[in-house]
Amino acid sequence: MPVGAYELEKAGRPHRSPLNGAVRPVRQDLVMLIATNARGHTVKRPSKPAMGIMLANLGRDNEHMVIERQDDELAGDWYIQVLLRENNTYQLEYRDGAAAEHYQTQTVSQEKVLRALLGWAADTSDWREDFMWNNISSMFEPPAAMGMDEPTA
């Protein structure tokens, strides 16, 4: 869903389509994006300029920012996050609902990172194309239980 669709008219009021005059209800449980930085500064429904400023203000001391998608119709965790590493590279990660769908990449380009953040926020299909993504789901698997070998016959 494009970012502009998040800012619908007052929730609960019907919206009249200019194309056909039909009345459609506005969703009560609108998708909300929430951007948070390492210092705890939070912006609900961040604009493109706000996301750009948050990214530009990351310091090299492993500072990060996260943009979460909150939607009652989506199960799991949906977010994109960026970490500015000490070597001045950006570590970009996203999760699509479950740990099995957690991916990571790195780049030196702040411009590419911003395009990815904005594309993810707008829910476009091509925002991943500038990168080679690695699935890092194994980092989130629970450790194997110790001493819980299978029984022998």
**Cα–Cα distance between 144 and 28 in angstroms, integer?**
42
- The mean pLDDT of 113-137, rounded to a whole number, is 94
Instruction: Please give the radius of gyration of the chain, using alpha carbons only, rounded to the nearest integer.
Output: 19
pTM: 0.72
Q: 44 versus 151: which is more confidently predicted?
A: 44
pLDDT at 14 over 70: no
Cα 67-5-132 angle, rounded to 5 deg:
40
Q: How do residues 46-84 score in pLDDT, each as one tens digit?
A: 999 999 999 999 987 779 999 999 887 778 889 999 999
pLDDT at 102 over 80: yes
Strands 102-107 and 134-135: antiparallel
- The mean pLDDT of 76-100, rounded to a whole number, is 92
Confidence label for 138 from pLDDT (cuts 50, 70 and 90): confident
Q: Are 75 and 62 in contact (CB under 8 A)?
A: no
In the block, tokens 């990168």 appear at: 131
Question: Sign of the C-alpha dihedral, residues 42, 37, 121, 29?
Answer: negative
Q: 49 versus 22: which is more confidently predicted?
A: 49
Q: What are phi and psi of 145, to 5 degrees?
A: -65, 130
